[in-house]
Structures are given as structure tokens and as C-alpha cells.
Structure 1
Amino acid sequence: MESFVDDLTMLRSHVDELIDTGAREDGIHRAGDADLVEAVARAGDLARAVEAVLVELVGEIAERSRSMARDERLTTRMGCRSVNELVQRLTRCGSNTAARLERAATATARSWDPVTANGMPARLPATRGALLDGDVGVDGVLAVARPILAMRERVDPERMLTADSLLAEAARGEGADGLPPACAELLSVQAQVWAAVLDPDGAEPDEHAAARRRGITLGTAHDGVIPIRGALLPEVAAQLQRIYEATCSPQAVRFRDSETSAQEPVPVPVPDERTRPQKLHDALATALTVAAASRALPTIGGAAPTLVVSVRHEDLTAGTGRAWAEGCDEPASILTARHIACSGVIQRITLDGTGRIVRLGIEERVFNRHQRRAIALRDGGCIIPGCGVPAGWCEIHHVTAHAHGGPTHTDNGVLLCWHHHRFIETGPWRIRMNRGVPEIRAPHWHDPTDRWRAVTTSRTRMLDLVGRRT
């Protein structure tokens, strides 16, 4: 083992030389395209070889940490509670990376009989061979191991070994189809196909086990956001997916120039620059807002589960400072407070210099249900062209802010989805009211004329517009 450590130390010195010539001396930047591509491929070869060494080493650490007697475990003797922690400390990697190395070792590393000390074959011997030869890395090993090992209790071992062998051939580029070596994504697809063929029924879902695993955890605020992690039951995930599809459907409406006052709606695609995770977040935010306003949820403190945000009046007026949402230690921006106040309930509370409450105002409902119906009839849905979120999922936005004296009147309210309402002040779209009709000025990339245009997705109003034009 001493010589093995010496070899790794020598390898590191060679890599340091490569870094000096390639990165510190700008050799990579000066390389031609062909050399750059070839260098990435060779670096990938080296990375897979190093991963093979790491997987073997982690497998051996795991093997020496399986003793029933805690004090005899390697992890305990090194002062660590688990293999994952020891690997993190030794390699300076994160817990996810350490866990991936552990899982790869479980699939490919050999184990040893504690009585005879004889070595036993790996669970996926062919994949192990491809790993040691540098033809597949940790990503590829896990792509094969997940679906293949998941069926080991239900499928004949010989058939599993056949799948393992053919997948290893695909990783090497030696398959019967003559294709080049498969990357991890392609290996994952092929392994899933093998699992479907060998185990068509799959494992019957355990309802009780799934129910125990369900859950969502809110993390600690960091950089203005709250991390969320957890596991949803399939039907809950499916419902969230449907809400996502409903609120993010790619329906686009734009209005074309006309010599007359009437304008004809012309459907054209409008790109949505949000990522899918951002869209899913906004869909969840919409669902939570609609649910809280539905009056169908249980009450808390005698009232509906209302989001309470406190902010000083002078800060709200000036647009500076911070707001605070009840139940969250992370401060919110004034933009957030304005967004929530725009379509919620406002109660003004006056304190004197010592903090005593000297005036308690009544709750002011921003828009009542009759106004909402009228605005929905006029606007149809979110008025931003291309959004497509229906009226029932939208919030009502004060075009002239309530804090700046904007009236709670249909001539000052427009329908916006949660996303466009949240970012209307900082985004590229502009809104104004023209004799009670909302008009939009699109960003320059969408409408180079920078003109204000009346907008609606109301079928009734669109019929009127087309009727006047014809």
C-alpha cells in the first residue's frame, strides 16, 4: 500500500505540472479548438480513472467499518460517526458526493468473507471491470446500478448479470449496435429499459412506507431565499404538476397595429425566460395564494390563514427599508410588501414614540368580489401578453399604488398572475390605464415600436374588437 500511496503522490505532482502549464500560464486559452476538445476528453479519461480509485478506496473503508463492535470500526477509530463523514473529511467533498461514492462502491467494490477472508464478486462485476478500465465513471456506475440493483430480489441473478454485461459493453463502445461509448445519460436510459424488460411488473408500491417518507422541510434563510427539500406522494406531485401546467401554459396574445382605433388580437409566441424550477415555484405560490383566499382552509386565531406582513408607513411610501412576514425570520423587501398589500387586506396601526398603540384602523379590503368579477370580465386573465393564466388564478394589481393614493376602483385595477404581479415594478413590462382600459408597453425586444397597446384575453371584448374591425 505504501507504494500505491507514493504512486498517487507522484500522479498529483504530474497533475500540478499540467495545471501550471495549462491554467496558470494560459496554455488552455491559447490552445486550438481541436486541441481543446481533445484535452477535455483526456481529462475526462483521467477523472474516470481517479474516480475508480476513489470508489475502491471508499469500498474498502466501508468494508472495514462494518464490524458489529463499534470500537472496532475504522470510522470510529478515525473519530467519525459514518463512512460519509470520514470521506468528506479526507477528500474535502460534500456529503452528496461522498454518498455517491458510497453507492458506487456498494455496486462495484468486492466484499470479503469475514470467516475465510476470501474475496466475493461484486454485485455488478462487468460494470466494475468497465470502471477499473476507465470506461465508465461514478455517474455511469450509478446510472446502471439504480435500476438494475433495484430488481435483484425479483429477477433471476443470471439475467441481471447478462444486463450488467451488455450495459458494460455499451459503456465501452463494444455493443452489437456499433455505437460509440455511451455517456451516463444514455446508460441510464438503457438500464431502465433492461429493468422494464426483466421486471415488467416492478416492485409493488408500499403505501405505508411511502406515507412515512412523505414530508417537506423548510431550511434556514440564505441569500434572501428559504431552501426547501422533501418528498411528495405521487398524487400530490401530480396535482402540483397540473397546477404548473395550468399557470404556465404557453398561450400568447399580441396586438397588431391598425389604422383604426380597433385592434385585432394576433396569437404569436412570447418567450418566457423563467427556468422550469422558477415556474414551478411560481405555480406553487399561486396555488397557496388561491387556497388561502378560498375560505375553505381551517382558521387560525379565528381568521383565515392570512399572510401578515408588517412595514412602517414611511418605508412603504419611500420604497426603502425592510418588511417582516409573520412566521419567517428573514426580512422581506419593500417590493414584497407592496405586492402583498396590493391584492390583500390593509390595516393601519399607529404607535406613539414609546410603542403604545394609539390608533387601530379598520381592515380595508382592496377589491371586493363584485369589482373582481367586473375586472375579470374586462381583462379575461393576466393581461401580460403570452402569460395565459386564467382570471381565477390571478391577483388584482393597483396600477397606481394604494400607498400612493391609488383608488380601489375598477379603473385602477388589472389582473396579473402571481409572477407578473410580484415583478411588475422591476420587470420590463409597463402598465397604465387609459379611460378605464388597461394598456401595456412591451419590452423593446418584443415590440420595437415601444407603443402603448390595449390588451385583453376576454372573449367577449375580443368579439367586440373583431366586430368593429369587420
Structure 2
Amino acid sequence: MVRDDGAGGAGGTEWGLGSHPLLTASTSLTTALAAAHGAIDSGSDPSWLAPAEQGALLESLGRAQASLDALLMRVLPACSGPDSIADDTACRTAADWLAHRQHTRANRLHAASKLGQSLARWPRLAAALASGEITTDHARAAVEALDRLPRSGPDALDPETLDKAETVMLGHCREFTPIQIRTLGARLLEAVAPDVAERLEGERLADEERQARRETTFSMSRTGRGTRRFRGEIPELHASILEAALRAVTNPRRTHLDGGIPYDDSRSCDDATVQDGQRLTDSQRLGQAFCTLVENLRTDRLPVHGGSPVTVVVTITEETLRREATEHGYSGYGTTTGGAPVSVGEARRLGCVHGVRGAVLGGASEVLDLGRKVRLHQGPQRLALELEHPTCQARGCDVPAPWCETHHVTEWAEGGDTSVEDGALFCPHHHHRVHDPTYETRWHDDDTVTFHRRC
């Protein structure tokens, strides 16, 4: 490679424009993107492409975006050291320098730089991101799970186990959404090192629960506009219960928000009712749902343990429950329907004072098969389906299970049974697609469905 004696440096040298491979690549990339925008501006409408070609174009752009993100992650730390652009301009990091040049906040760039440094510990994930095989959000979710694994101290995992963990997370990145990966990542240690997972995870959760109770706060302040502003921090478990309640109330199939505050405040409430919350933002719908919960509190029963319209399921193995019941070590753990991990001690306390339903794996349960006697899925069956499938079973759809409708995999009219085994959950949109003859429905081994328009 050749360095040119540059006039831009003070007595030093700098790379000639285009002579460094990274400069060449970035210049070519900018030129190619300008040509693509110019093609659209000149009338090359992407909608003219056949559906298969549109899919190929979108997938290619997505891979290019991920690859570009990976490149930026690797370049930012390298441009932050001595004799760098950051050092030359007295910026703390290259992320701060670039944020200043782009007139934006540096948070996103700092996060990218940090992720790039973390990916250096997991080379196969880094390579997958660089090739565009996975997205940045997938990589971040996977790295968060991997970095939680013990790599030092008496419980440190050996290199072979860490390599296995990276393989597991890379496989998850190819099949699941980032939100699902975070849920799966919470159980990563159990998957790769079950001999130490339960003890370490139980101890960690017990410590977190104690810390969460100490850090729990709540305050209200008047805004002077007829409202009060809430501020606080609550444990993950209780946040999961609250979210489950709010999502149940904000189900778009319900009409409880009709007549609520329209999104367009310039119109009066009298002539602009809200249908299924479609003209409310998500935060507005949750706010109104919170008010609905408050209005329906059993104030005549407080603080006695009253009935609750929300059921929280804690899943735990029968073996763990029996062992902890006799040993009182409380080192195991379970999970709620909202994905919040719960220690055995917390699960036992909840079972004593709240309406918590336990899904004990390996133990007895309610009748979940009603055969042909009842056409619609009943409460326990619905609960079991939501426990198995937290979102719509259409692949790629993240509509939460409480908003979904139950479906007979084998149609009732064709002799199907009303059971969990023959049941499925679909959001209203995909439930219509299941019954739409213009679409072919394909079931996959992971209990998800894809749709393809028939020719």
C-alpha cells in the first residue's frame, strides 16, 4: 500500500484518497447508493418488479444494512485511539466526533461501538452480522445473553461450553425475533450447562428480587393540567402482572375505548369516537387501560386479598417444587406467562397470597381436552395455549397471545376436537388468512404457520 505525502497533515503523511481499501469500499458504496436513488428518481419504480424480485431486493437491502452496521461497529473503536480523528479534534471517541458532524446524539453510535467490542469475543456472531446473515438487533440480543455466562471464578465455563453457547445463540438468531432471543437467552445457561444453571440462576434471581424490593419506588406529581405524572420503578414480576392486565384491557377486539380521547385532539369526543383503539397511540391506549383498572378496583375489599381478573401462570418443574418444599433452599426458579423469571421462594409466596395458577410440569392439571362436547376453547385450554405460544402463531407476527383468537387446526365442521393439541392462536388478521381459500397455509415443526398466495 502507498501513502501520499499529504498537505492535510502537519508534517506527517496520510492515505491518498481511494488508496486504502476501506476508503475505496466506502466511496464505491456511496456511489452505488446514489445510483440506486437516482434510478428510483428517474422512474424505475420498485413496484414494477415481480413479487419474488421484490422479496429478493428487500432481503438484499436488509443484508447490506446489517453488514454496514457491522462495519461501522468495527471502525468506530479503531478511530478513537491515539493519532485518530477523535484525538485530532479533542473528542472523547469517534462516536462523539461523528455525532457532532451529523448533528445528532451520540447514544446510538456509542451503543454500536460497544456492541462491536463485545462481538470481538464472539467471532462467529460477528461474521454472521458482517455477512448480513443476521441483523444488528439479533446480534445485540445474542451478545447480551452470552456475556451473562460465567467466564471467570469458580463457576467459569470452559471454552468448549462457551463455543456451544455461541452456536446455540447463532441458531436462535436464524429462527427467532430479537425479543424472542432475549427470552431464550435468559435460559441459555440451562441449555449449555444444566448442572450449574439452576443453582446459579436461582441465586441470581433471589438476589435480584431482594434488590428489586429495595429499589421499588412510586411517586405522583400534579401537572396543573388536570392530570398527575407517575414516576417509579417496580420489580419485573409485578411489571409483568400489570402489563398482562393492561394488554388484556387494550385488546383491539374489545370496544371499551369507544368514545375515548381521539388521537386528533382538534375534534370533540362527541363526534369522533375511537374504534378498537385504532386512532390512539399505544401509550394512550395503555394509559386509558390503566385508568380502567383503577376504576374497577375492589375498593371495598382492600387490603383483603380480593379476586383478580388477571391470571398469572408460573411454570415450574414438579421435581424442583417438591425439593424446595422440603429443603427450603429456594435455589430453583420458574417463569411467568409474561416471561419474567421467578424464584421458587417468590412463587410459593405468590401462591399463598395471590390468584396465581401454577403450571407444574409433570404434575396434574385441569382437563384440557373437551372432545366434541364443546365447540369453543374454554378458560384452562386458552390459558394453556397462551402458555405455549406467547404470540400469534403466524411466523413473524408478534401480536401478543391475549389479543389472539383460538383456532381449530382440524376444523370443527370436519370433526376436529376442542383441545389444546388441536388448538392454535392467531391474531384476527392471520385468523382470516387461515380461512381464506386464496392462501395456502403451511404448518412448520416449531408450530408456526406461513401463508402463500395460491396461483
Give the shorter-chain TM-score range.
0.3 to 0.5
TM-score, length of structure 1 as denominator length: 0.42
Larger Cα-atom Rg? 1
Structure showing greater relative contact order (alpha-carbon pairs closer than 8 Å, 6 or more residues apart): 1
TM-score, length of structure 2 as denominator length: 0.43
